[in-house]
Amino acid sequence: MQGNLFNGEPLSATPTPDLPLQPLQLRAWQQRIHDHQAALFRGDRPTNSQGDLFANASQDPATGLDPMALTPLPLTFWRWPDSPHQGPAIYLVLDRPSDLDQPLLLYVGETGAADRRWKGDHDCKAYLSAYGEALQRCGLPHQLSIRFCTDAPSDTRARRRMEQQLIQRWQPPFNKETRQRWATPFTADV
Up-side HSE of residue 156: CA atoms within 13 Å toward CB? 2
Confidence of residue 173 (pLDDT cuts 50, 70, 90): very high
Cβ atoms of 93 and 128 within 8 Å: the answer is yes
Nearest to 170 by CA among 28, 25, 27, 48: 48
Nearest to 169 by CA among 99, 90, 88, 100: 90
Confidence of residue 164 (pLDDT cuts 50, 70, 90): very high
What is the structure's pLDDT at 91?
A: 92
DSSP, res 77: G
Up-side HSE of residue 124: CA atoms within 13 Å toward CB? 22
Query: Which CA distances in Å does 42 have to 35, 136, 158?
Result: 12, 28, 26
Nearest to 172 by CA among 127, 113, 121, 111: 127
Collapsed DSSP state (helix, strand, coil) of residue 149: strand
| Whole-structure pTM value | 0.79
pLDDT digits (tens, 9 = 90+) for 44-81: 765 554 544 444 444 566 678 999 999 999 888 777 77
